Structure 1
Amino acid sequence: MSDISDDQNFLDDDVEDTMDEDSVYGYDENGDSDYAGNSDEEAVLDDYGDADDAFATQDMGQKRTFEVDFKSHTVASIESAQKEEVEHVASMFMIKDTDAAILLRHFGWNKERLIERYMDAPESVNLEAGVHEDPARPKLQRLAGFTCEVCYTSSDDEPSGKMETLALACGHRYCKDCYQQYMEQKIREEGESRRMQCMKEKCNLVIDEVTVGLVVEPATFDRYKILLNRTYVDDSSILRWCPAPNCELAVECHVSSKKLDKVVPSVKCDCGHPFCFGCGNAAHAPAVCPIVKLWLKKCEDDSETANWISANTKECPKCSSTIEKNGGCNHMTCRKCKHEWCWICSGPWTEHGNSWYNCNRYDEKSGSNARDSQAKSRASLERYLHYFNRFANHEQSAKLDRDLYGRTEKKMEEMQLTSDLTWIEVQFLKKAVDILTECRMTLKWTYCMAFYLVRNNMTELFEDNQRDLERAVEDLSEQLEKPIEKDNIPEMRQRVTDLTVYVQKRREILLADTANGFQEGRWEWNVAI
């Protein structure tokens, strides 16, 4: 009954939602799903003015507890930031801007540490960094009677009787051609930029960027500047390059590495790519970086198990017919016997809408009576497979959303033709798929986190939030799979809108509660992180 999208998260700005979740879509006292009635639908429209307004993507400036501050930077803004730092240090110490740049790069752009060290021992710092205090800037000079010590070419061999040469502040002079070959090899073949030194053996004087520009070809100099920008970002503790292919933006975030066991720094580059600022991997909220690292290593170590569990076919629990899952929705219906069941746990689908729905929760009792090493090993594997199966399924469902995304566009065109809705008004379907995919990825990482949580009351509450989000996601996924009927378009539009808002709300509740739990020290791990 479903198909879902790719690895790439179609993450738009979060929905600003102020309404009570039960007024949109809820569950009755028996746990059965219950769409809001007409009065509730009117309440929804009263709050938002129109169904489309529920998906307004403007950030109202109110940061949620699970969000962090971040900002994207272009190459121009990165160069501007470097220039500002250089000018500050140069004016403070009354030195050349090129020398200030070399000093800052030597200290990894840690200006405070540079100032502290330089104030105590400027000569020692200059020697260490490869700076020579000379007010004159190096320049190319044509000299007669000069022989290069590298290539042994003499100025007498030149038609003019003079050879173009270069010497740094250290006084070691060589011909321009040798320096050009030396620099271009360093830049193009070795990727060096911050510490290109004088060609004289054992001389550690660093060549500044103005001098590099005098010698190398323009294309090589452009490459050199790119490398300088890269080292600036790589050295910075508050900047990270966006990992998206062909993106040249960097993201600034002030979450330190010491806080990564308590904070999940999920950021989103201006190019639209979401990722974790802490580890550079795909966004993995609510799991913290150390837990994600352990989980990915375990999945890699158990690759054969992963290959087995992620098989695309299962048998119908009732008639044993082989069934292939070709969509994201986990509500399966056997074509042969018409039995409706859950792809995840193989249980009857009717049980997934009531209060004793436990598809997301691992039964610890099944492994508590293991008495020998073989039984314990088997119980441990069973527990791992429980969480990995659900982790991999949500990942697969998100990938299958690509097909659903394509079908949604066709549905949007169909709705335009069969109703009086405009293209803007049918965008609710695209928005629903975007949020569905976003929630799939969140659910995926909840199973990574749950695997390492110590079983206690807090874990029970976490899994309750996980279950509520998962149940809502399945309802929205199934709704998006349904064919469009011309007479029911207004009702379908309202139902998808309400479901989408509710699903987004459930995600926010889960992420907010998890973030608060980290700050309050509620979560206990069964491994050291």
Structure 2
Amino acid sequence: MSDNWSDDEWAESDNEEIPQIPAIPYEILTEDLIEQHEANCIQSLYDEFSIDITQSRILLIQHNWDVAKVIDKIRSGSLDLPVFHKQASLIKSSKYPCILCYQILPGREMKSLECGHAFCINCYKLFLTQAVLSGKDCILTKCPIENCLYAIPEMMFQDLLEKKLYEKFRMFLMRSYIEKNKQAKWCPAPGCNAAVIVHDEICKEIQCHCGFSWCFICGKEVHRPLTCEMFSKWTSKISSDDNETWLIANTKNCPKCKNAIQKNLGCMHMTCKCGHQFCWLCLGDWSAHSSSTGGNYRCNKFTLEKQKGKYQKEEDQRVAAAYSIKRFEHYYNRYLNHKASLNIANEKKHKAKIDVYNLYSIINESHIFDFITESTELLYKAKRYLAYSYALGYFMTSVAKIQFYEFIQGALEDNEIKLDELTNKDFMLFVDYDSVFPRLIPEFTNYRMEVLNLASVVKNYFEECLRQMENGFPEVVDLVEDMTSSEFIKESINLSYIDKWICPSCTLGNDMNTNECSACGNKRVA
């Protein structure tokens, strides 16, 4: 595994612009653009096969608006060309029976498709009204006669429905392009009516015009480097009360009433609320304990039984639970801190845009201030990534990979902090107003180059961290494979996030420099 992490090697002093993280192509769609996309798809089928609008739309909806798929099926003969479905012309003066209400009315008061099934206008209007009120499936409404395959064209909805109902029908048509299209989704931000269509199957991150960044796969906020499954587990973890794990780690059950008891002092003499007195270590009746058994802070009976392995299973469970809680707290607290810093970074990003706009209104030089908005945008992404990288660390079970993860994460965080501090500037101070025309002071050039170089370093760490973490650290090989939970806990005791070791007997947190519990005297787990 190579170790090319030198800032000097990654920074190029002659960089003119911050290299951008490659954007995966997608398009943000307003309602007007959605309708334009629909029209283009329908036009493609009409140009190829002269299929009318209604049938083109139905075919596309049935095939998730995949134009290429519909065309291929028709060309291969696996999909028959539909017939034209339009309103039939009825002789206005002639009379026809309505199939629904049985009234015999003149043609001017009747409606019929080319299937020949004629209905009076009132019945057709009621039928279409009920279809629209029933929901989005109204866009596939067919002739009222059962088993008739003739679809009702949009023009008939427009002719017969009230304006509000027709607008609702049009809304269902427009939304079908997004909801039936595997490559399109609505922005999940509250109040946002925009949608997105992706042009690449690996597209994950979407930045909507409303400002919300979200994952195209799961529809939640952007959560790289976590997979969608990990993100779901993480949100479930932080929203749940894991009382069972806490009870295992911090309590024992009273031998008499079985209620959970937490020991908050060093003495082993426990008195339950039921009145029963017992030893915290061996759980035996306290009346059988005295100075000869170890007094208040020892239990010789427990020590002897422990040597025989009697308490091993319970101790292993308490150790695992205690370290599980401590480990979660470590990652969760750091996750919260970085999530909180995102609000500040977002404000900084927006302020930078305003400052750059004002600077360009004073100094008319192309792109010279773009590095300010680009570096603050990079900072925001790095902070967001770092927040979720702590969640990723929580799910890792490889000691070797955790150590490498902490190394590259720390390198990114250190340089991100430097860039954050470097961009905490009042950029308007770089303008000299004392000259005839406003101009930039000489220090601006050096400052700009310093920011560009450091941003290049952050960008490279950012990309490398994403590559390593999302691919599961492919270059790191564990010395021990398929570790059990208890083995992983023992291996992880010396990692940086453990600042105390938990006594498996009395659950007291002890200093890492000691090997004996200060309360009960038991030895530290090897």
Q: What TM-score range do you get, normalising by the shorter chain?
A: 0.5 to 0.7
Name the aligned partner's letter for residue 340 of structure 2: Q
Name the aligned partner's letter for residue 200 of structure 1: I
Name the aligned partner's letter for residue 109 of structure 2: E
Residues 1:408 and 1:423: Cα distance change in structure 2 (over 3 Å)? farther
Instruction: Determine if contact 1:149/1:174 at 8 Å carries over to the other structure.
Output: yes
Given the alignment, which residue of 364, 370, 373 partners 2:317? 373
Residues 1:397 and 1:171: Cα distance change in structure 2 (over 3 Å)? same
Residues 1:119 and 1:55: Cα distance change in structure 2 (over 3 Å)? closer
Name the structure 1 match of 2:252: none
Name the structure 2 match of 1:232: 177
Name the structure 2 match of 1:251: 197
Aligned equivalents of 2:62, 2:217: Cα separation in 1: 24
Instruction: Determine if contact 1:264/1:287 at 8 Å carries over to the other structure.
Output: no
Aligned equivalents of 2:29, 2:477: Cα separation in 1: 36
Structure 1 residue 468, shift from structure 2 partner: 1.0
Name the structure 2 match of 1:342: none
TM-score, reference length from structure 2: 0.60
Name the aligned partner's letter for residue 466 of structure 1: Q
Given the alignment, which residue of 386, 389, 407 partners 1:446? 389
Name the structure 1 match of 2:123: 178
Aligned equivalents of 1:412, 1:86: Cα separation in 2: 44
Structure 1 residue 441, shift from structure 2 partner: 0.8
Structure 1 residue 423, shift from structure 2 partner: 11
Is residue 2:448 matched to residue 1:503?
A: no
Aligned equivalents of 1:277, 1:229: Cα separation in 2: 20
Name the aligned partner's letter for residue 284 of structure 1: H
Structure 1 residue 396, shift from structure 2 partner: 1.2
Residues 1:24 and 1:424: Cα distance change in structure 2 (over 3 Å)? same
Structure 1 residue 82, shift from structure 2 partner: 4.1
Instruction: Determine if contact 1:398/1:440 at 8 Å carries over to the other structure.
Output: yes
Aligned residue for 1:287, secondary structure, equals coil
Is residue 2:420 matched to residue 1:477?
A: yes
Residues 1:252 and 1:414: Cα distance change in structure 2 (over 3 Å)? closer
Name the structure 1 match of 2:287: none
Aligned equivalents of 1:410, 1:235: Cα separation in 2: 40
Name the aligned partner's letter for residue 457 of structure 1: A
Aligned residue for 2:139, secondary structure, equals coil
Aligned residue for 2:337, secondary structure, equals helix
Residues 1:407 and 1:231: Cα distance change in structure 2 (over 3 Å)? closer
Name the structure 1 match of 2:136: 191
Aligned residue for 1:166, secondary structure, equals strand
1:21-170, aligned counterparts within 5 Å?
A: 21-22=7-8, 44=13, 46-48=14-16, 54-55=17-18, 64=22, 68-73=24-29, 78-79=34-35, 81-83=37-39, 85-86=41-42, 89=45, 96-110=52-66, 112=69, 116=73, 133=83, 137-138=87-88, 142=92, 145-146=95-96, 148=98, 150=100, 155=105, 163-170=108-115
Instruction: Determine if contact 1:70/1:252 at 8 Å carries over to the other structure.
Output: yes
Which protein is bigger by CA-based radius of gyration? 2
Structure 1 residue 508, shift from structure 2 partner: 2.0
Is residue 2:191 matched to residue 1:241?
A: no
Aligned equivalents of 1:211, 1:403: Cα separation in 2: 51
Residues 1:526 and 1:291: Cα distance change in structure 2 (over 3 Å)? farther
Aligned equivalents of 1:525, 1:182: Cα separation in 2: 64
Q: Percent identity?
A: 21
Show CA shifts across 1:317-348 (max 9, x none).
Answer: xxxxxxxxxxxxxxxxxxxxxxxxxxxxxxxx
**Structure number with higher relative contact order (C-alpha < 8 Å, ≥ 6 residues apart):** 1
Given the alignment, which residue of 187, 207, 215 partners 1:276? 215
Instruction: Determine if contact 1:267/1:277 at 8 Å carries over to the other structure.
Output: yes
Unaligned runs of 5+ in 1: 1-18, 26-42, 49-53, 58-62, 156-160, 256-262, 306-368
Residues 1:79 and 1:20: Cα distance change in structure 2 (over 3 Å)? farther
Show CA shifts across 1:433-467 (max 9, x none).
Answer: 32221111111221222222331434433332211
TM-score, reference length from structure 1: 0.59
Aligned equivalents of 2:119, 2:192: Cα separation in 1: 39
Show CA shifts across 1:52-78 (max 9, x none).
Answer: xx2487xxxxx85xx644344565664
Aligned equivalents of 2:367, 2:9: Cα separation in 1: 25
Name the structure 1 match of 2:407: 464
CA RMSD in angstroms, aligned pairs only: 4.8
Aligned residue for 2:136, secondary structure, equals coil
Instruction: Determine if contact 1:264/1:289 at 8 Å carries over to the other structure.
Output: no
Name the structure 1 match of 2:335: 391
Instruction: Determine if contact 2:185/2:197 at 8 Å carries over to the other structure.
Output: yes
Name the structure 2 match of 1:356: none
Aligned equivalents of 2:44, 2:421: Cα separation in 1: 59
Aligned residue for 2:185, secondary structure, equals strand
Instruction: Determine if contact 2:336/2:387 at 8 Å carries over to the other structure.
Output: yes
Name the structure 2 match of 1:32: none
Name the structure 2 match of 1:294: 233
Aligned equivalents of 1:204, 1:274: Cα separation in 2: 43
Instruction: Determine if contact 1:392/1:444 at 8 Å carries over to the other structure.
Output: yes
Show CA shifts across 1:278-328 (max 9, x none).
Answer: 1222222222222222222323334999xxxxxxxxxxxxxxxxxxxxxxx
Unaligned runs of 5+ in 2: 245-312, 431-440, 485-526
Residues 1:218 and 1:518: Cα distance change in structure 2 (over 3 Å)? farther
Aligned residue for 1:171, secondary structure, equals coil
Q: Which moved more, 1:467-476 or 1:453-462?
A: 453-462
Aligned length: 396
Structure 1 residue 430, shift from structure 2 partner: 4.1
